[in-house]
Amino acid sequence: MSYFNDFPLQFYSFGDGEETALVQNLAVYVDILDDIKMNSAFYQDYNIQGGERPDQTAFMLYKNPHMHWTFYFMNDKIREQGWPVAYNDVVKRVKSDYPDYVLTTQDSIHSILAIGDTITGAMSQAVGIIKYKNLDLGQIYVEVQGNVKFQQSEMVVSNTDINEHVDLIAATQGYLATHHYEVNGEHVDLDLTDMSVPTNAVPVTNLDSYLNDNDRLKQIRVINPREINTVQQLFKEALR
């Protein structure tokens, strides 16, 4: 990787051995790019297209795919969260993170239907084991046993105590369940068991949330192609 080519060399002893080896000092840090990303004369905004790789972006902008390292210095968000991915990859990730089925109720679940309990749908006869509860959103995450799915508007009953039951208002796959609510595009904290929930509150699913986060990563700041050679030279000189 060309980014490491100009890092200074130093002798380093590995382990307890007395012999040393000449290696690049990767801990060296220079702040030249920190200054540049605050200077509008040196940068421009760029929108990453779906599925576009960093090396492809670097080639498109600078005719040099090895300059992709500059994007991570110029943008803290992709350095911390990673490069945005294609739509299908986002779907694959959210399905992996939310593998369970989600049952939603407006009944209170604070003191009933404990994690680890087995529940059964009164109409569907679906069976599931409770894995997690989101008390504010009235959500019960269950690992469904078998192929029968829970149904919207049915009652689910604890197999341990028939007095513990709730009525569902939704039953869906985890990645399509509500992640949070928004009012006029702003995230709001709502308690679904509170019947005073604003009528203009819009549910945002787990998939929507992942897609929104991925889209925000696509808006980045890049070094102006006219200045890339100057910046690269300044970076090399600072390393030396």
- 75 and 140 housed in the same domain: no
- 79 and 129 housed in the same domain: no
Is residue 210 domain-resident? no
Helix (H), strand (E) at residue 231: helix 228-239
Helix (H), strand (E) at residue 211: helix 206-217
CA–CA distance, 127 with 144 (Å, rounded to integer): 6
- 80 and 97 housed in the same domain: no
Is residue 110 domain-resident? yes
- 116 and 199 housed in the same domain: yes
- 106 and 167 housed in the same domain: yes
Is residue 213 domain-resident? no
Structure tokens at 108: 């209170």
Number of H helices and number of E strands within the chain? 7, 13
CA–CA distance, 223 with 183 (Å, rounded to integer): 36
Say if strands 118-121 and 101-105 run parallel, antiparallel, or are unpaired: unpaired
- 179 and 226 housed in the same domain: no
Q: Give the residues across from 187 on adjacent strands.
A: 182
- 108 and 187 housed in the same domain: yes
In the chain, how many domains are there? 2
- 9 and 65 housed in the same domain: yes
Full residue range of the structural domain in which residue 161 is found: 92-203
- 190 and 234 housed in the same domain: no
The one-letter amino acid at 129: I
Say if strands 202-205 and 21-24 run parallel, antiparallel, or are unpaired: unpaired
CA–CA distance, 156 with 103 (Å, rounded to integer): 9
- 80 and 96 housed in the same domain: no
What pTM value is reported for the model? 0.79
- 194 and 98 housed in the same domain: yes
- 194 and 99 housed in the same domain: yes
Nearest to 100 by CA among 123, 127, 137, 131: 131
**Structure-derived torsion over alpha carbons of residues 41, 215, 92, 178, reported in degrees to the nearest 10:** 150
Is residue 211 domain-resident? no
> pLDDT tens string for the chain (240 positions)?
455 555 555 555 566 666 665 444 444 445 566 677 777 788 899 999 988 999 999 999 999 999 998 898 889 999 999 999 999 999 999 999 999 999 999 999 999 999 999 999 999 999 999 999 999 899 999 999 999 999 999 999 999 999 999 999 999 999 999 999 998 888 777 766 665 567 788 899 999 999 999 999 999 999 999 988 887 887 777 666
